[in-house]
Amino acid sequence: MQQAAWVLAPLVLVAVLLLSAAAKVGKGASLQSVIANLRLPARILPARLARAIPAIELALALGLLLPWWPLVLVAAVATLGLMVVYWLLIARGLTITPRPSCGCFGQAGDHRIRPRTLLRNTLLVAAAVATVALAQSGRTVWSVLAGAAPGDVLWLALATLTALVTWIVAGGQGIALPRRTARQQQEPMDAPDGSDVDGAELDYVRTPFPSAVLFDPASGPATLAELARERAQLLVFVNCYCASTRDAMAAQPGWQQRLEALDVRLVFSVPIKEEFVGDPPSGTLLDHAALAWQAFDLTASPSAVLLGADQLLAGGPVAGEDEVRSFIGEIEEQLRGGIPDNDDGAGPEGTGTVVESEQAGVTDAR
């Protein structure tokens, strides 16, 4: 069994490389944005190399499964080099504030860079070292399996199945920020006197804006309070240059059209690089040194918060593309149902005061 256990290392690497290759197909531009997100020179990853990475990973996965040990050794050494490079990129990401937290690194699994991400990649480097040692001994996956007892093969199959189930259960998408709703329906809870309170309904806890300053290229720096002095502000934060950011940029005009009672503005918590994002929409703000990102304790890109014109948070933060779009839909629904008829003939301009009212619906958003 000890001999048969050696094949677990290359089999794990094969699975990881195949998954990684599938997640990166057609993502050459996003892979290049990784280098920009990590504030490294663009020459590190030329466009041709970025497009070729999925094919390279696929070739390495197949190479580890070859029956000829010299070729397996070449594939194992190359895989070790690749895993070390990935380890260095993750380690670099841990030193950056805010850390890239989107789909730039592939569309599979938890996209956040955390210490456990570095631990995962450390284990992959260790698996690559074991695979090199296996190949150097003149053995391959097939030669080891050929000499294994039937019980050993069964043990390996069960170990592989266990790893697969563990990945499916625990290795999916990361946990986004909790949904913060103005009127959350709570589970039955105990009252202070010990009696049961059925269907207790708690209001969204509205708090003052954190201390942060955003920069408007058209007018200069402004505090959050100054931004929302006349109209509520829906701020959509991004901290990368990948597809999720470009999707948010493309959707912003439509969001603004749907939410006429407030301003919908993108906020870049990283420097804007036109080679990746082009020309940002009008009204885009800059979050210098990601101070606002940190003040709101954001963890994923994109994220959104709603600033009320009464100088209190009216909703959020929410994180992730799906959550942000759902958040916007809820705000739109509240605006449609909450804006009272104006007998004084006030048009859309008169809705600036709507966001200051609890009855208006904007403050009933998350």
Residue with tokens 């100088």: 311
Model confidence pLDDT, tens digit, residues 331-352: 998 888 754 343 343 333 333 3
Q: How high is the pLDDT of residue 21?
A: 87
126 and 8 share one domain: yes
The CA distances from residue 245 to 93, 263, 277, 281, 355, in Å, are: 18, 18, 8, 12, 27
Q: What percent of the chain has pLDDT over 70?
A: 68
Rounded distance between C-alpha atoms, residue 273 and residue 41, angstroms? 13
Whether residues 222 and 324 fall in one domain: yes
* Torsion of the alpha carbons at 250, 251, 252 and 256, rounded to the nearest 10: 140
Which pLDDT score is estimated for 118?
Answer: 85
The predicted-structure confidence for 56-112, as pLDDT tens digits, reads as follows 999 999 999 999 989 999 999 999 999 999 999 888 878 876 666 554 444 444 556
Same domain, 149 and 224: no
Same domain, 25 and 162: yes
Residue 219 lies in a domain: yes
Shared-domain flag, residues 131 and 89: yes
Task: Say how far apart CA 314 and CA 355 lie, in whole Å.
Answer: 9
Domain boundary residue, one of 170, 193, 217: 170
Residues 132 and 216 in one domain: no
Distance CA(181)–CA(316), nearest Å, equals: 8
Look at the chain and report how many structural domains it folds into.
2
CATH of the domain at 271: 3.40.30.10
Q: For 128-175, give the DSSP string.
A: HHHHHHHHHTT--HHHHHHTS-HHHHHHHHHHHHHHHHHHHHHSSSPP
Task: Give 86's Cβ-side CA count (13 Å radius).
Answer: 26
Residue 36 tokens read as 């920009």
CA distance linking residue 303 with residue 265, whole number of Å: 12
349 part of a folded domain: yes
Strands (E) in the chain, as ranges, are 183-185, 189-190, 196-197, 201-203, 213-216, 220-223, 233-238, 263-268, 285-286, 303-307, 313-319
Q: Give, in degrees to the nearest 5, the angle at Cα 44 between 38 and 48.
A: 115
Task: Quote the domain boundaries for residue 158.
Answer: 4-170
Q: Are residues 23 and 166 in the same domain?
A: yes
Regions of the chain with pLDDT less than 50: 1, 103-109, 168-170, 172-202, 339-361, 363-366
Q: Would 148 be classed as within a structural domain?
A: yes
Asked whether residue 191 is assigned to any structural domain, the reply reads no
Domain match, 336 and 295 both: yes
